[in-house]
Structure formats: C-alpha cells, structure tokens
Structure 1
Amino acid sequence: MATVKPFKAIRPVPGLADKIASLPYDVVNTEEARNLAKDNPYSFLHVDRAEIDLAPSINPYDEIVYEKARENFDRMLKKGLFIKDNEENYYIYREIMNGRSQVGLVATVSIDEYLEGIIKKHELTLPEKEQDRINHMDYCDAHTSPVFLTYKANQELKKLLNSWMKSKNPIYDFALEDEIRHTVWIIDDKTLIDKITSVFKEIDYLYIADGHHRAAASVKVGLKRREQNPDYKGDEEFNYFLAVLVPHDEVFIMPYNRVVKDLNGYSESEFIEKIKEKFEVEKCSEGQPFNPSKKHTFGMYLSGNWYKLTAKEGIFNPSDPIESLDVSILQKNLLDPILGINDPRTDKRIDFVGGIRGLEELERRVKEDMKVAFSMHPTTVEDLIAVADAGMIMPPKSTWFEPKLRSGLFIHELS
C-alpha cells in the first residue's frame, strides 16, 4: 500500500516559471551550472548549485555553499518570485519531448515507506553525496528538487489525471531551449484529491527511478527532525519528501554509454582478439555508427571505426535480473577482465555519457581524450522493477532518464 499526500507547494509566480525552472543539480557540474545561470538571476541553480555565486575555487561541499543557498532562496522569496499555496494540493507535471508525453503526479511520499521497502531502490548511494543533500535540505529547510518515482501503470489513475488536464487550464505551460514542453496543472478539488490518495493505497510499491541520493538524504533529514522533536505526531512535513510519480509505461530510459582512456596495454589487434572470446565482432561499414537496437548487442568505436559486438551464449545467466543487464555483461566480460576496470564507480580511466548526447559525443570523446567508446542498448523500466523487486542493486550508471524533471517548479517546506 503506497501513501501519497498533497502538500502546500512553494512555486513560481505565473510568468517566471520558464526562467526559474532549471536542470537538476546532479546532471550539471559547477562550471556548466555557472554558464547556464550567468545571465539568468531567476535560475533555480542559484539555490541548488549555490557555489556558482561564490569564488571558482570554493569547495562545493563547504558550509558557505549551503549558507549561500539559503540566502539566495530567501532573497528569491522576498522578491516575490514564488508563491505558496494556502491549501494542500496535488499537481500534474507533464513533459513532452519529441512528441512523447510523460505525465507525473507531484506529491509527497512517506519516509517510513522508504524505510519499510514500500518505496524500492535499485542503486547504492555515496555518503559524501548524501551528506551534501542533507546539508542543503537542512539549511534551506525544504526539499528543493523532487525524487523521480515510478509505479506499475494504473488505468484508473490515468483516467483521473487525463480528465483533469482536459477540463482545466494549466498554471504553467512553456518550452525551453531544448524544445521540451513543460505543463503544470494544480489539482485543488478535494474530492479528486481524496480519490487519487485512495487509488494509490491499492498500489503495492513505488520505485525510485532517479534521485536515490535525494531520497536517502530526505529520509535522514526526516529522522533527524524526529530526534529534534521527540513529541512529533507523524503528520509533520519532515515525515514526507517531494516526488513526481510517473507510471512505468511512460518512463523513457536512454542508454548510458561508456568511454575508456586506454586499452590496458593491449595493441588494437590484441584487444579485438580478446573481445572475440566472449563476443561476436563485426566491423561496420565506414562512417556507419552502431546504435544497438536490441539487448545484448553493443557498439564499439575504436580508431575511427565502429564495430558491432554481440554477446555469445553462455556468458551470462538470462534468468538473473542483474547478470542479464547489458551493463553487467559489458562490465563482467570486457571492461573488467580485458580493460582492467574493476570498479567503474571509482576508476578514473572510465567515463559515462548519457544517451541524450548521441553517438557523435562518443566519437568526439575518443578523438579528444579517450581511446575507445561503447554504445549501449538502454536498460528497460521492466529491468529496473525486476531488480528492485529482487532486492538487488544495479551496476553504476545503468540508466539515463529523459526528459529530466526541472527543479524550482515545486518546493516542499519541511517546517
């Protein structure tokens, strides 16, 4: 049984949503955030990546960064850039990218259900990154970015949300430079709110798609607030965290491709011969990139040539939800044993490229600072759910979700 709860959102005033909305803090580095926000004083990156308003030498985990985030947030509130709804509402957040629609319910979800496993995860988190968001939430006294959750599609919910979208005017409707359209409706009808809450109680599990560090940090902040308030009743806002819930059949996952700096001492011919032990290797026509269209096939770009790699039978267990992932097959049969990438989380010889950047980015990286690139078939949302249901952890960098949920459109106060 999944618990969702409406909340009183802090959200942009009409007319500024497109200027405030920003990419999530964790998909841009400091320099990219600085460039994106330099001519836009309204950008929410001034809150989510506040180091951009400090000296370039600043450590992004320094306490002064969190103080600056709070200062910038307070300044934006005082300037009247945001409003706070007086009643607890749900919100609908629809994104359209390349004609494909993703409709999410914006709500808060229970930290207890995260702890109990009703909200399931599939990734490990890094303590340093968790602590960063803990500090950010504590200083801002708010969840400033939503966690992206999914659930097994429910037709009744689809009908309820679609009916509301057709009958009501949106509060925001804008497209940004990437041509993704963002449209938001407010659900302020008590009867519909109660109905949505009731339908979610019939859904067994929620799954974290993206935002594992935000979720883990939100839970730890909530537990910390409970210790500070021993007489808490359970309905306080710190017992819940901000989420956008999207049905699984509308979740779009792109590949998370790999680039590696060297061939681990092998010549190119030796390297290809080693690969042939576990993969069928086929050289592509000159100038023809290989973008895998089915599972267990991979593209490889090496010295200006593309190759198709096909995993041989018997090198993985097809019934194992982890072993059968393409990211696992590549890691266990090529990256680790041949290229010596034992831990892709920490090895500096490997980098990861989101599929949104295209195969051209892989070619560019190989020509610029890498030796070999691998294009992947995307992990499916069904793969994600199977891994989470099995209580297992996906390999790092298994999924790249598009479109990204924008930050700054919904803020959830903790107190």
Structure 2
Amino acid sequence: MTETHPAMERSSEGESLVAPFDGWLVHPDWAERVISRAYDNLSPQQRRELVAANPYSYMNVTRSREDLFDNANSSPEALVGEGAAALNRLLNANAFAATGRPALYLYRLSHQQGVQTGVVCTVPVRGFDDRRIRIHENVHDDRASLLTAHLQGVGATSSPVAMAVRSTAELYRQLLDITSSAPADLEFGSSTVRHQVWTVPEDYTESLAAAFDNQVLYVTDGHHRSAAAVRALAAAPNDPILARTLAVVFPDEQLHVQSFHRIATDQHDRGPEDCLEALSVEAEVTPVSSSLAARPGGPGMAGLYLGESWHRLELPPAVGNGAVSRLDVERLSRSILGPVLGTDELSQQGAVDYLPASAGFDELARRCDEENRVGFALHPLSVRELMAVADESGLMPPKSSFFAPKPRSGVFLRVLGRGATAHLPAS
C-alpha cells in the first residue's frame, strides 16, 4: 500500500498519534436505519438488497461496482455522485448531529468470544510513511482509487480504519475508568454482537491520547481505506483535514481473527479432473467425505473444493525466511494460485474472490458450484503473526485476515469540507 510522494516524506513526528476530532454522531432515533453492517460481511447481492430496501442505510454512501444492478452506471464518477446524493439525504434528514467539540470516543463490542474496547480518533496519514502506523496487506488498485475519489467527491468518512496497539496497563486503566462510570451515549446491535459508544469526557481526553505516545499502530482492517487516505493527501498535501484519517484502535489481545477463504478461477479452463491432477503435482491432495473432514486443523493445511467434492490439501513449503513467506495465504498464492491456476490476485481483477470464514463452508461450495471455480478454505493467522509481517515491512496478499466482529459504518461522521460537504465546516 505504501506510496511515495515528496509531500509524504515529512515525518509525522510531533503530530499526536491519536487525536480527538470535531465529528458528528448518528442520532439514536436514526441509528437502526443508518448504521450498516460491515461491507465485507455481505455478498454483493445482499448489499444490493440492503440499499434497495433502505435508502437511509449508510451502505448507500459507499457503494462499489459489484453492488450495482446490471444496467447501472458503474463509472467512478457515477458511484461518487450516488454516494454524495445518499450522504446529502442523510444530512437533510438530520440523521447525524454535530458533537460540538473535538472528542475521542470509546467503541465497545461485546460478543461470544469476549469484549473489545477501542478508541475512535484520528491518526496522522504521514504515519503510514514513517512507520508509526504499519500495514501488512497489498491492495487492489481499482478499489483504492475508488475510495480516494470517494474522499474527494463525497467529502466525508464514516468507516474508521481498524487498528491494533500492543496492550499497555495505562491504556487499559483509562478505558476501564471511563466506561464503568457512565451509561453509553449510543447502544445498538443484537444478541450476537452488542455495540456501545461513549464520548470521552473532556478531562480524560488529553491523558487518554497521551497513553498512545511512543506506541506503534497496526492496521487490522481497512488497508484500502488507508491507501485512499495516503493518495488523497498526496493530491492535496497542504490540506490539514486530509493529513489525518478516521481510525479506531483496539488492544491487540482483545482481537479475534478469522480466515478469508479463496474462490479462484482456473485461468487454463480445465475440467475438475485435469485441474485436480495439476494441483496434485504441486501439493499433496487427499479426497475426504465432507467439509468437516476438509477443515484445516492447523497451519500448512487447507480445505480444497473442486468438482462438487472436498479434499484436504497440504500446502507446499514456504519459499524464503521472512514472516510473510511462512503464512498459508502466501504459500497458497505463491505455489498454487499462480503456478497452477495461472491467477495473479493483484493484477487480474475478479480472478480471486474472498469469502469470510463466518459465511460457512456450504456457501464456499455453493459459490464454486455455481461459478465453476476452485475453493480454498484456510486456517486463520494470529494477530501476532500479522504484527510480525508488518514489523518486517512485508505485505501479504489482499484479504489475508478477517477480523470479527467489526465496527459499523454510519455511527460516526467526519466531514472533510470538500466535494458534497464543501458547504460544511471540516472536522
């Protein structure tokens, strides 16, 4: 994702790593209609149905090409125009209210695996360049370009880049002191995931921000949004609003990682038997009777779905000694997707699709049968593996990790004062 530009060579040192922002918060009466589920949790068809049924869902602001019906104009200009119109619809309905002061927020997600509490803030975009903020995944250029156009044309952001920080006692103490003493400003969700938001009191704000001094942040979810922030600042290097981007920072040990399974096209257009034979040359492939038997029990193993049948696949050995080379996603990409299927995840748009593990093995099989493709079910990596890759400046293939649960869009609004929000004060 890292992109060099003369204006980006200046260090972010001296800028607060975590800072409050003068943002907007969805009105509680509008929360159910506006707040949208995480983009990656939904299929394109589900996103189409959602926006068709609810014109006030924030998903209307952030649509992509694959979310449109077949006869729709999918040019970047049209998509940005639709996003701007959707945002204006929300603003005209007073669905968001300005908070009136620079503030930090606490965002708590309570779920079956536990509780995670993050600090919603802005972080310096130049931090990506001077490594105060570290990434671990490559991005698709077209997606990053669309999100850059969105920042410039829609002029607002509501989807914070999710980040991790190595846990510190001081940070925990601050979080617990604040959240245990006051009711939440906003609460929503279901029995599966409960979301709560608090505005940090003014007298806590400075000390809470200072708890992040001398820390390193790691992007966990939002590499394309991060790339868009870098590109937007490069295009307008003197814009102080674009010099920071919206983020939510969680303690690393509270986070949970799932796999992103792969649904790949065989570029050689072989039948299942011939494709399976080619795969067997590069990896040990064993037929199994069910998806349960194909489920990877640990690193180095993957489930393979091909020709309406499940197999267990042992990934070829790692090539190289770096942290990224040892990961299953890299071993699959380097030894199977490229050499056997002729697929390049970065340069061939649509050749590989990504399915979060939460969608289930039945959905993976259904997609492969329907689209005549090959499915790979992967074992999840750990947060510390992700950090090791980022510390070495390594880059995994896109969609290598799926963090769940995710913060929602449509809760916070940071107005950039450009494009469709040029008439509003920037925050």
TM-score range, shorter chain: 0.7 to 0.9
Is the contact made by 1:256 and 1:400 (CA closer than 8 Å) also made in structure 2? Answer: yes
C-alpha change, 1:168 and 1:393, in structure 2 (3 Å) is same
Partner in structure 1 of residue 422 of structure 2: none
Is the contact made by 2:55 and 2:86 (CA closer than 8 Å) also made in structure 1? Answer: no
1:120 matched to 2:156? The reply is no
Partner in structure 2 of residue 70 of structure 1: 84
Alignment of 1:368-407 (within 5 A): 368-407=370-409
CA distance in structure 1 between the aligned counterparts of 2:154 and 2:369, rounded to whole angstroms: 43
Alignment of 1:299-310 (within 5 A): 299-310=303-314
The Cα shift of 1:373 comes to 2.0
Partner amino acid for 2:258?
Answer: M
Alignment of 1:223-302 (within 5 A): 223-227=234-238, 236-262=240-266, 264=268, 275-276=279-280, 278-285=282-289, 288-302=292-306
CA distance in structure 1 between the aligned counterparts of 2:174 and 2:161, rounded to whole angstroms: 22
Partner amino acid for 2:348?
Answer: T
Partner amino acid for 1:187?
Answer: V
The Cα shift of 1:189 comes to 3.1
After superposition, give the CA deviation of every residue in 1:262-310 in whole Å (9 maximum; x if it has no partner).
5947676665565455544443345644221211111122344432223
The Cα shift of 1:348 comes to 4.8
Specify the SS of the correspondent of 1:362. Answer: helix
CA distance in structure 1 between the aligned counterparts of 2:133 and 2:328, rounded to whole angstroms: 25
CA distance in structure 2 between the aligned counterparts of 1:135 and 1:263, rounded to whole angstroms: 31
Specify the SS of the correspondent of 2:325. Answer: coil
Is the contact made by 1:263 and 1:371 (CA closer than 8 Å) also made in structure 2? Answer: no
* Aligned residues: CA RMSD: 3.0
The Cα shift of 1:50 comes to 8.8
Is the contact made by 1:50 and 1:66 (CA closer than 8 Å) also made in structure 2? Answer: no
Ranges in structure 2 where 5+ consecutive residues have no aligned partner: 1-12, 417-425
Partner amino acid for 2:298?
Answer: K
The Cα shift of 1:251 comes to 2.1
Ranges in structure 1 where 5+ consecutive residues have no aligned partner: 230-235
Is the contact made by 1:30 and 1:49 (CA closer than 8 Å) also made in structure 2? Answer: no
Partner in structure 2 of residue 220 of structure 1: 231
The Cα shift of 1:54 comes to 9.0
1:196 to 208, 230, 245: 208
After superposition, give the CA deviation of every residue in 1:164-205 in whole Å (9 maximum; x if it has no partner).
2221101111225x9322111111232x211111110031x1
1:48 matched to 2:50? The reply is no
CA distance in structure 2 between the aligned counterparts of 1:271 and 1:292, rounded to whole angstroms: 21
Is the contact made by 2:164 and 2:251 (CA closer than 8 Å) also made in structure 1? Answer: yes
Number of residue pairs matched by the alignment: 403
CA distance in structure 1 between the aligned counterparts of 2:197 and 2:347, rounded to whole angstroms: 36
Specify the SS of the correspondent of 1:167. Answer: coil
Specify the SS of the correspondent of 1:4. Answer: coil
Partner in structure 2 of residue 146 of structure 1: 160
Is the contact made by 1:8 and 1:88 (CA closer than 8 Å) also made in structure 2? Answer: yes
Specify the SS of the correspondent of 2:116. Answer: strand
Partner in structure 2 of residue 15 of structure 1: 29
C-alpha change, 1:224 and 1:24, in structure 2 (3 Å) is farther
The Cα shift of 1:390 comes to 0.8
Specify the SS of the correspondent of 2:53. Answer: coil
**Structure 1 length as normaliser, TM-score?**
0.86
The Cα shift of 1:139 comes to 2.5
C-alpha change, 1:248 and 1:16, in structure 2 (3 Å) is same
Specify the SS of the correspondent of 1:241. Answer: strand
Partner amino acid for 1:93?
Answer: Y
The Cα shift of 1:320 comes to 2.1
The Cα shift of 1:335 comes to 2.6
The percent identity for this pair of structures is: 28
Partner amino acid for 1:412?
Answer: R
Specify the SS of the correspondent of 1:5. Answer: coil
Partner amino acid for 2:142?
Answer: E
Partner in structure 2 of residue 232 of structure 1: none
Is the contact made by 1:170 and 1:183 (CA closer than 8 Å) also made in structure 2? Answer: yes
1:97 matched to 2:111? The reply is yes
CA distance in structure 1 between the aligned counterparts of 2:217 and 2:53, rounded to whole angstroms: 38
CA distance in structure 2 between the aligned counterparts of 1:261 and 1:379, rounded to whole angstroms: 24
Specify the SS of the correspondent of 1:184. Answer: strand
After superposition, give the CA deviation of every residue in 1:232-268 in whole Å (9 maximum; x if it has no partner).
xxxx433211001112212222111123345947676
1:167 to 181, 188, 199: 181
